[in-house]
Structures are given as C-alpha cells and as structure tokens.
C-alpha cells in the first residue's frame, strides 16, 4: 500500500512544469523528475537540444548556426538510479561523435578496472593555502618534477572549487603524491 502511495505522489510530481535552460549552445528541458523511497530511488528525463556540425560538435554562434552548416539535434537524457543513458530523437550521432563516446567509455572502463584491481587509488585533496592559480600551479609542477615516481601513472584534475585537487594515481605513487600535496599546501612564503 505504501508503494502505491509513493507511486501516486511520484506521478503527481511528474506533472510539474519548469522552464528550460540554455547554456553553451545547448537547451535543456526537464520533462520529469522524481525521487521514490525504493529502488531505483531516482528517475529523471531531460530533453536536450542543440545545433551540431557534421562531426557532432556543438555550434555556439547563436543566430548563425545554419550558416555554419549546423542542424538542430534533440536527445533524451535518462537517469534511473545510478544508471544513465542518452537516446537521440532526430538522427544518429555522426561517426566522429560515436567514436569519441566509445573512447570515453573505454577510458572509464579501464579506470574502473584499475580501481577495482587495486592498482589505482582516488583521493580528493582540499587545500587550505593554495589554489589553481598559475603561480601555485608552477610550484606544484616543480615539486612534481623533483620526485622519482615508481609507476608515473596518474591523472590530476583541479576543481570544481579553486582549492580542490582530485587525483587518481597508482597505489605505488599515491604516497609520493600525499607528500607532494602536504608540502605544496604550506602557507605562502612572505
């Protein structure tokens, strides 16, 4: 009975309308979104529309998309629990776009495999004294260059905040990165 009540409230919630969002040449319109207290817990469908060139890249020159050889493409982005996928509505993505998506998926699969095997570790470092400024980055690079890494296998990313470093490194190299980040985050010399 509780499940039926949750479904009824979820159905009623899906009838709420919202305005679309336009960012970076792409419009987003949430068609339905609801959370329920049992699996899959979260469900959302968003329609995404944008002008693309023949390689599937977004054309951001508003008002001149057709002059640049673009055509409008629509997609449905579906989130169901922790899974997500995209369906195209107007046309199949161009070969170059499909190839990029396949390369991204393969890269993600390899990373997940390495994490599962214990070869890689992921850590997030929140800095107290440094940011992603170019002068601070120069300091980080000089600290990195002086070290002798075992595997030299890592991925470093800044953000989304300016004082956050996300690091994926081999298990052998992560202790070296711990030491580098600790030294890097010391207060600026006066």
Q: How would DSSP label each residue in 97-135?
A: HHHHHHHHHHHHHHHHHHHHHTSEEEEEEE-SS--S-HH
Report the number of secondary-structure helices (H) and strands (E) in the chain. 4, 8
CATH fold for the domain made of 120-184? Ribosomal Protein S8; Chain: A, domain 1 (3.30.1370)
The 10s digit of each residue's pLDDT in 87-140 is 889 877 788 888 888 898 898 888 888 889 888 899 999 999 988 788 888 888
Residue 77 pLDDT grade (very low, low, confident, very high; cuts 50, 70, 90)? very high
pLDDT of residue 88: 87
Query: Which token pair is 187?
Result: 């207060």
pLDDT band at residue 14, thresholds of 50, 70 and 90?
A: very low
Q: What is the pTM of this model?
A: 0.49
Cis peptide before 103, with omega less than 30 degrees from 0? Answer: no
Q: What percent of the chain has pLDDT over 90?
A: 23
Q: For the purposes of burial, counting CB atoms within 10 Å of the CB of 120, is it exposed (0-12), middle (13-18) or buried (19 or more)?
A: buried
Does the pLDDT of residue 6 top 70, yes or no? Answer: no
How much is the average pLDDT of 32-43? 88
Q: What is the pLDDT of residue 101?
A: 84
Mean pLDDT is highest, among 9-13, 31-35, 36-40, 153-157, for 31-35
pLDDT of residue 178: 93
**Residue ranges matching CATH 3.30.1370 in the chain:** 120-184
Q: What's the Cα-to-Cα distance from 2 to each of 6, 9, 35, 168, rounded to whole Å? A: 6, 11, 14, 43
């Amino acid at each position: 009975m509780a499940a039926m009540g949750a479904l009824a409230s979820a159905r009623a919630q899906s009838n709420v309308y919202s305005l679309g969002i336009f960012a970076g040449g792409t419009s987003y319109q949430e068609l339905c979104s609801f959370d329920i207290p049992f699996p899959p817990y979260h469900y959302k469908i968003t329609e995404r529309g944008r002008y693309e060139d023949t390689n599937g890249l977004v054309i951001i020159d508003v008002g001149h998309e057709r002059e640049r050889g673009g055509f409008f493409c629509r997609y449905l982005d579906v989130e169901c629990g922790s899974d997500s996928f995209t369906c195209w509505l107007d046309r199949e993505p161009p070969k170059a776009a499909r190839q990029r998506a396949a390369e991204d998926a393969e890269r993600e699969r390899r990373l997940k495999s390495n994490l599962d095997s214990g070869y890689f570790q992921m850590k997030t470092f929140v800095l107290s004294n440094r940011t992603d400024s170019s002068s601070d980055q120069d300091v980080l690079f000089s600290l990195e260059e002086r070290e002798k890494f075992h595997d030299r296998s890592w991925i470093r990313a800044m953000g989304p905040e300016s004082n956050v470093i996300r690091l994926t490194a081999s298990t052998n190299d992560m202790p070296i990165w711990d030491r580098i980040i600790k030294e890097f985050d010391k207060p600026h010399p006066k």
